[in-house]
Amino acid sequence: MSHTVPMKQVLLDGQHDSRELRNALGRFPTGVTVITASAPGGKLEGLTANSFSALSLDPPLVLWSLSRKSQSLSGVVAAGHFAINVLRTGQSDLSHRFATPHENKFEGVKFETGLGGSPVLGDVLASFECKTESTIEGGDHLLFVGRVLRISYGEGDPLIFNSGRYCTAVSLRTGSAESDLNGIWVGLG
């Protein structure tokens, strides 16, 4: 038996509270990443982002977005390369570190220097080392399209962000999404 859950409806007419849009967007769970880059002059940039997405398999492209208000924006744009570090369960401390202002976000953090000088964080679930293919104006954000040059990945569970909280994935006992997943990836090619 199914039942209808009441939904809140808000007209985005410019007079709305922007928190309402954030609340609705928060209903879509995402993985948590730390984007890293090495700006000209060697300054390391790092920020937490959940706007990461696959774009294309051939050529291998990914995308993510960064607020125009971010202090890291000019450094990431100038770097020309970036790494996307997918966090695993238990790494909410890294997410918090790179989401909040610190004089040196990399102090005490294990990383290796990747392609284009981008830091690749240690013990993450996956990393995507990318060259900036293009940037696209997107309202109050700048979208980065990256050509993936090298990947690394391992086994484990991802750190998930949903409705303002960190959480983990729990597999359902019934059903398999393998055929659905294969269909999605075929559409990306």
Whether 41 is in a domain gets the answer: yes
Contacts of 174 (CB under 8 A, 6+ apart): none
Tens of each residue's pLDDT in the chain, 189 residues? 567 888 888 888 888 888 888 888 778 788 999 999 999 999 999 999 998 999 999 999 999 999 999 999 999 999 999 999 999 999 999 999 999 988 899 999 999 999 999 999 999 999 999 999 999 999 999 999 999 999 999 999 999 998 888 888 887 777 666 666 666 666 655
Whether 49 is in a domain gets the answer: yes
Q: Please say whether the dihedral angle defined by the alpha carbons of residues 173, 123, 50 and 57, taken in this order, is positive or negative.
A: negative
Whether 177 is in a domain gets the answer: no
* CATH number of the domain bearing residue 50: 2.30.110.10
What tokens appear for 179 in the block? 């055929």
Whether 182 is in a domain gets the answer: no
- Exposure of 172 by Cβ count < 10 A (0-12 exposed, 13-18 middle, 19+ buried)? exposed
What's the pLDDT score for residue 28? 77
Whether 94 is in a domain gets the answer: yes
What tokens appear for 132 in the block? 């900036």
What tokens appear for 75 in the block? 């450094």
What tokens appear for 77 in the block? 């744009």
**pTM to 2 decimal places:** 0.85
Domain membership of residue 161 as a residue range: 29-168
Rounded CA gap, 183 and 160, in Å?
23
What tokens appear for 138 in the block? 């997107």
Whether 13 is in a domain gets the answer: no
Which candidate, 156, 171, 158, 167, places its Cα nearest to that of 86? 158
What tokens appear for 162 in the block? 């949903």
Whether 58 is in a domain gets the answer: yes
Which candidate, 176, 187, 54, 67, places its Cα nearest to that of 126? 54
Give the single-character DSSP code of 117: G
Whether 44 is in a domain gets the answer: yes
Q: How far is CA 41 from CA 45, 75, 83, 96, 168, in A?
A: 12, 10, 18, 26, 38
Total count of domains within the chain: 1
